[in-house]
Amino acid sequence: MSRSYYIAGNWKMHKTRAEAAELATALVKELRDGKHKYLVAPTFTALETVGAIVKRTNILLGAQNCAAEEQGAHTGEVSVLQLKDLGVQAVILGHSERRHTYKEDDALINKKVKLALKHGFEVILCVGELLEEREAGKAEAVCETQTVKGLEGVTAEELSKITIAYEPVWAIGTGKTATPEDADAIHAYIRKVVGKLYGADAAEKIIIQYGGSVKADNAALLMAKENIDGALVGGAALKPDTFVPIAKFG
């Protein structure tokens, strides 16, 4: 069975609305004839601006996070209801920066996953190990725990709305990239974990992206691997001339 490729750009805490509009406009033009699935995830303040530009195009609008509650006294948080109101279609959850810089644990991430699914969003669930965990031989165990706990309570039907993104934390923004072989081995392992939870057919269907210093010159090599189904792109997503070659590989 052939899975389709899914290339997502996580813009992180970059771009004013004017800058975001300029980037989104360029991507709509450049990716119009692209043959893969695409998503951009601007910062919250630029969602409405970018949403208007990508509406009715082949680029999905994503958010970089959401609150674990629908509404209430949660100063500084953004709810799924507010994201839905802006036309957001997908939410990135469990990104390594949320896990490690902002101390979000598996239970909180799982709560967000279930809430986002309940409101009809697609979810990109990020998993990945730290350098010391990899060096201690724990990469597979860490990814298994994050996958199992992240998907707790998610039904087989809901799983079709989930993409997993494997991001070795040591390769994010460092210029280091897991070799295509290293990345594919972990992707294959995550696929096996999904198989244990949901069966072989679900494991075969699930899209697993790679994230961690993806660039135009390594994208095709990574995507050529059997278990790598796309990319969650950070730094290279911030300029058309670095994102478009990744998005249109192959």
Domain limits of the chain? 6-247
* Both structure tokens of 117: 């699914």
Candidates 36, 95, 129, 133; catalytic one: 95
pLDDT band, very low/low/confident/very high, at 175 (cuts 50, 70, 90): confident
pLDDT digits (tens, 9 = 90+) for 189-216: 999 999 999 999 999 999 999 998 899 9
Alpha-carbon distance of 158 to 116, in angstroms, equals 11
Summary mean pLDDT of the chain: 96
CATH number of 6-247: 3.20.20.70
Catalytic residue among 104, 122, 129, 167: 167
Angle of CA points 5, 89, 52, to nearest 5°: 105
* Whole-number pLDDT of residue 184: 97
In this prediction, residue 11 carries a pLDDT of 98
Residues paired with residue 127 on neighbouring β-strands, in sequence order: 166
Give the tens place of pLDDT for each residue, 121-132. Answer: 999 999 999 999
Burial class from Cβ neighbours inside 10 Å (0-12, 13-18, 19+) for residue 219 reads buried
pLDDT at position 130 is: 95
14-50 pLDDT, tens digit per residue, is 999 999 999 999 999 999 999 999 999 999 999 999 9
The one-letter amino acid at 184 = D
Concatenate the DSSP letters of all residues of 14-46 into one string. ---HHHHHHHHHHHHHHTTT--SEEEEE--GGG
pLDDT, position 24: 99
Asked whether the beta carbons of 112 and 162 are under 8 A apart, the reply is no
97 has pLDDT over 80: yes
The predicted model gives 233-246 an average pLDDT of: 97
Q: How many other CB atoms are there within 10 angstroms of residue 183's CB atom? A: 26
In this prediction, residue 177 has a pLDDT band, given cuts at 50, 70 and 90, of confident
Which residues are 125's β-sheet partners? 93, 164
Banded pLDDT at 1 (limits 50, 70, 90): low
pLDDT at 173: 78
167 catalytically annotated: yes
Can you name the residues that pair with 126 across neighbouring β-strands? 165
Residue 171 confidence class, pLDDT cut points 50, 70, 90: confident
